[in-house]
C-alpha cells in the first residue's frame, strides 16, 4: 500500500520505517528541510535502536523516501498518518495547530480517496474536527476522505520492537472502508507475516489482537493508557516514601504486589519520577480534557504532584547527606529521561541539575547517548566523556537514568576518583550490597539505609 507520514519525529520515523519494512511504500514528510536532507543522506536525527538499519535498508530498496513537500507525500497515498507534534500550551492543553495545519495541507493536496489517520496523541473529539476541516478545505470532485484514529503505544528505546510486536492494535474508525484499509495495512504484523529485523528466531505465538472502536474511544484509549501507567509509577513512588518512613524496602513491596496477576510488576519502579515527551504532557492534557467535559480528574493531578516532588526529594536527600551544596561538586550518571534514548525532554536529570546549580553546586554529568544534547540544553552543566570523569572530584554521584552499563562499571575506580564515595541511586539500579562492600555510602529510593534493617523487619 502507498502510505504518507506527515511529521518525521520519533513517532513518524518509526511508523514510516516499520511500515516500509513490512512491505509498504512509504513517503515521510517533514517541514524541516535540514532534517529531510540528513535522512536522504542516510543519517538519523535521533537515536533509536534498530531504526537506522530499517531506514537505510528500506530507503535502499526504494520503499522509503523523504520529502519536505506535503504534495509529494500525499498524492497517490491510500493512507496518510498524522505524526506531527502536539506540544503542551502553557495551560496544559495540547497545541493542535500543527495538526490543523497538516490536515489543511493534506486536504488541499490529496488526490482520490484517502484515509487520514491520527497517530499523534490528540484530545478526544479531534477526529471530528479533522473531518470538518477536510470537508471545508478538501472539497473537490473525485477527492474523498475517511478519518481514523490509530494510537501508537511504542516506547522510546523499544519503539521498533513495540511497533512490530504490539500488545494490541487499536483502530478507531467511522466507516467499514477505513477499517478494511487499516486491517490490510497491519495484516503482516497481525499474522506474523514478515521477517523480523530484531530477533533471529522470532515466531509470533498468537495473532495480535485488533480492537475496533469508534473514533472518540480510540482517542481516549491513548490518554487513558498513558495516564494509567503514570499513575502506577506515582503510586510506586508514594509507596517508596512510606517505605522510607516505615523502614521497609520498596523493591520487596512492589515485588509482592506485582506478583498479583491483576496488578503486574511493570511500571512499579520507584525512583526520581517519570519524564519524556509523553507522560508529563499527556497527564496534564488529560486533566484539561476532563475539565472541558465537566469532570474534575483530581486523581491525575495528584499523580503529577507526586511526580514533580521526586526532584525535590533528590535535592533534599543530598542536603541531608552533604549539609551544604554550595561549592560542592556533584556527578550525575545518566541524563536522558530513560535508557536507550538520547531524548532529554522533561528529563528528571536536567531538572535536578538545574536545581543543584541554583543551590550553587558544580554539576557534571555523563550519558551514553544524550551528552551532546545535554550540553546544548544546559550549558552550565559540565558534560563528561565517560562515567569516571563524572565521578572525578565529586562528593556525591546520582544515578538519574538506569542505563544497563552502569551496574557493571569499575566501581573501585569510581570510588578512587570521588572526594566522598556517596552514591544516590535514583533508580534503584545498582547492586547495593556490592557498593556497600566496596565502602560506598549508598542511598536508594524507598529503601532502608542499611540492608540489615530490612532483614530485621523480615524477622
Instruction: Output 143 or 198, the one with its CB closest to ligand UGA.
Output: 198
Q: Which region among 16-24, 51-59, 153-161, 244-252 touches ligand UGA (by CB under 6 A)?
A: 153-161
Instruction: Output 8 or 226, the one with its CB closest to ligand UGA.
Output: 226
Decide: 192 and 165 in contact? Cβ < 8 Å.
no
Return all residues near 340 (Cβ < 8 A) that are at least 6 apart: 49, 156, 157, 158, 369, 403
C-alpha cell, 457: 523487619
* Chain-centroid distance, C-alpha 231: 15
Q: How far is the CB of 49 from ligand UGA (least distance, A)?
A: 12
Instruction: Output 12 or 371, the one with its CB closest to ligand UGA.
Output: 12
Per-residue binding letters, 169-208, with ligand UGA (x by CB under 6 A): ----------------------------------------
Q: How far is the CB of 164 from ligand UGA (least distance, A)?
A: 14
Q: Quick one: which of 5, 26, 130, 229 contacts ligand UGA (CB under 6 A)?
A: 229
Instruction: Output 236 or 330, the one with its CB closest to ligand UGA.
Output: 236
Cα dist from 25 to 16, 45, 131, 164, 359, whole Å? 9, 21, 25, 17, 53
Q: Is 121 in the site for ligand UGA (CB under 6 A)?
A: yes
State how far the Cα of 443 lies from the Cα of 427, in Å rounded to an integer.
11
List, in sequence order, every beta strand (DSSP E) within 295-446.
Answer: 329-333, 362-366, 382-383, 396-399, 422-425, 441-443
SS3 204: coil
Burial of 33 (0-12, 13-18, 19+ CB in 10 A): exposed
Q: Is 36 in the site for ligand UGA (CB under 6 A)?
A: no
Per-residue binding letters, 334-373, with ligand UGA (x by CB under 6 A): ---xx-----------------------------------
Return all residues near 135 (Cβ < 8 A) that are at least 6 apart: none
Q: Quick one: which of 194, 267, 297, 388 contacts ligand UGA (CB under 6 A)?
A: 267
Q: Quick one: which of 21, 146, 156, 395 contacts ligand UGA (CB under 6 A)?
A: 156
Q: Which region among 50-58, 148-156, 179-187, 406-414 touches ligand UGA (by CB under 6 A)?
A: 148-156
Instruction: Output 155 or 165, the one with its CB closest to ligand UGA.
Output: 155
Cα dist from 7 to 85, 123, 339, whole Å? 8, 18, 24
- Strand 210-213 versus strand 329-333 pairing type: unpaired
Q: Is 166 in the site for ligand UGA (CB under 6 A)?
A: no
Decide: 394 and 418 in contact? Cβ < 8 Å.
yes
Q: Which region among 19-27, 264-272, 352-360, 382-390 touches ligand UGA (by CB under 6 A)?
A: 264-272
User: What is the footprint of ligand UGA within residues 232-251 (CB under 6 A)?
Assistant: 233
Q: Is 155 in the site for ligand UGA (CB under 6 A)?
A: yes
Q: Which region among 40-48, 94-102, 266-274, 312-320 touches ligand UGA (by CB under 6 A)?
A: 266-274
Q: Is 394 in the site for ligand UGA (CB under 6 A)?
A: no
Told to judge if 278 belongs to the known catalytic residues of this protein, a careful annotator would answer yes
Q: Exactly one of 243, 278, 384, 400 is catalytic; name it.
A: 278
Positive or negative, the CA dihedral 195, 3, 60, 68 is negative
C-alpha cell, 128: 471530528
Q: How far is the CB of 140 from ligand UGA (least distance, A)?
A: 34
Backbone angles phi and psi of 377, in degrees to 5:
-70, -35
Q: Which region among 85-93, 149-157, 170-178, 376-384 touches ligand UGA (by CB under 6 A)?
A: 149-157
Q: Quick one: which of 18, 20, 36, 278 contacts ligand UGA (CB under 6 A)?
A: 278
Instruction: Output 152 or 179, the one with its CB closest to ligand UGA.
Output: 152
Q: Is 279 in the site for ligand UGA (CB under 6 A)?
A: yes
State how far the Cα of 162 lies from the Cα of 171, in Å rounded to an integer.
17
Residue 454: in which H helix or E strand, if any? helix 451-458
Q: Is 286 in the site for ligand UGA (CB under 6 A)?
A: no
Q: Quick one: which of 160, 173, 178, 268 contacts ligand UGA (CB under 6 A)?
A: 268
CB atoms within 10 A of CB 306: 19
Q: Is 274 in the site for ligand UGA (CB under 6 A)?
A: yes
SS3 144: strand
Q: Which region among 274-282, 286-294, 312-320, 413-421 touches ligand UGA (by CB under 6 A)?
A: 274-282
Instruction: Output 167 or 201, the one with its CB closest to ligand UGA.
Output: 167
Question: Which long-range contacts does 33-40 make (Cβ < 8 Å, 24+ apart)?
Answer: 33/68, 35/8, 36/8, 36/66, 36/67, 36/68, 39/8, 39/13, 39/66, 40/65, 40/66
Q: Which residues are catalytic?
A: 278
Write out the residues near ligand UGA by the rule CB under 6 A.
121, 152-156, 226, 229, 233, 267-269, 271, 274-276, 278-279, 337-338
Amino acid at each position: 500500500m502507498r502510505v504518507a507520514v506527515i511529521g518525521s519525529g520519533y513517532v513518524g520515523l518509526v511508523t514510516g520505517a516499520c511500515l516500509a519494512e513490512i512491505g509498504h511504500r512509504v513517503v515521510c514528510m517533514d517541514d524541516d528541510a535540514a532534517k529531510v536532507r540528513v535522512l536522504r543522506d542516510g543519517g538519523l536525527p535521533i537515536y533509536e535502536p534498530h531504526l537506522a538499519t530499517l531506514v537505510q535498508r528500506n530507503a535502499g530498496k526504494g520503499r522509503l523516501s523523504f520529502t519536505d513537500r506535503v504534495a509529494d507525500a500525499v498524492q497517490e497515498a491510500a493512507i496518510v498518518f498524522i505524526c506531527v507534534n502536539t506540544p503542551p500550551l502553557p495551560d496544559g492543553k495540547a497545541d493542535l495547530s500543527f495538526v490543523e495545519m497538516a490536515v489543511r495541507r493534506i486536504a488541499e493536496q490529496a488526490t482520490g480517496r484517502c484515509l487520514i489517520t491520527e497517530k499523534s496523541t490528540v484530545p478526544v473529539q479531534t477526529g471530528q474536527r479533522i473531518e470538518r476541516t477536510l470537508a471545508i478545505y478538501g472539497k473537490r470532485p473525485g477527492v474523498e476522505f475517511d478519518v481514523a484514529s490509530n494510537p501508537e503505544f511504542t516506547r522510546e528505546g523499544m519503539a521498533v520492537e513495540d511497533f512490530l510486536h504490539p500488545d494490541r492494535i487499536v483502530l478507531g474508525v467511522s466507516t467499514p472502508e477505513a477499517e478494511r484499509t487499516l486491517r490490510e495495512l497491519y495484516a503482516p504484523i497481525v499474522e506474523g507475516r514478515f521477517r523480523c529485523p530484531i530477533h533471529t528466531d522470532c515466531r509470533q505465538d498468537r495473532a495480535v489482537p485488533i480492537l475496533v472502536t469508534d473514533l472518540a474511544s480510540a482517542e481516549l484509549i491513548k490518554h487513558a493508557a498513558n495516564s494509567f501507567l503514570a499513575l502506577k509509577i506515582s503510586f510506586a513512588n508514594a509507596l517508596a516514601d512510606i517505605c522510607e518512613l516505615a523502614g521497609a524496602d520498596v523493591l520487596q513491596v512492589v515485588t509482592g504486589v506485582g506478583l498479583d496477576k491483576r496488578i503486574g510488576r511493570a511500571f512499579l519502579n520507584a525512583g526520581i519520577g517519570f519524564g519524556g515527551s509523553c507522560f508529563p504532557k499527556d497527564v496534564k492534557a488529560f486533566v484539561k480534557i476532563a475539565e472541558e467535559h465537566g469532570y474534575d480528574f483530581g486523581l491525575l493531578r495528584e499523580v503529577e504532584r507526586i511526580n514533580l516532588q521526586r526532584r525535590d526529594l533528590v535535592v533534599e536527600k543530598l542536603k541531608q547527606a552533604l549539609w551544604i551544596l554550595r561549592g560542592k561538586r556533584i556527578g550525575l550518571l545518566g541524563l536522558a529521561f530513560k535508557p536507550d534514548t538520547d531524548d532529554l525532554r522533561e528529563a528528571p536529570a536536567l531538572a535536578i541539575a538545574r536545581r543543584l546549580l541554583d543551590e550553587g553546586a558544580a554539576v557534571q554529568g555523563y550519558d551514553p547517548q544524550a551528552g551532546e544534547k545535554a550540553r546544548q540544553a544546559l550549558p552550565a552543566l559540565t558534560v563528561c566523556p565517560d562515567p569516571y570523569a563524572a565521578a572525578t572530584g565529586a562528593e556525591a554521584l546520582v544515578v538519574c537514568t538506569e542505563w544497563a552499563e552502569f551496574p557493571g562499571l569499575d566501581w573501585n575506580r569510581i570510588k578512587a576518583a570521588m572526594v566522598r564515595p556517596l552514591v544516590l541511586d535514583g533508580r534503584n539500579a545498582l547492586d547495593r550490597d556490592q557498593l556497600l562492600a566496596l565502602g560506598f555510602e549508598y542511598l536508594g529510593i524507598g529503601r532502608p539505609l542499611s540492608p540489615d534493617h530490612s532483614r530485621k523487619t523480615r524477622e
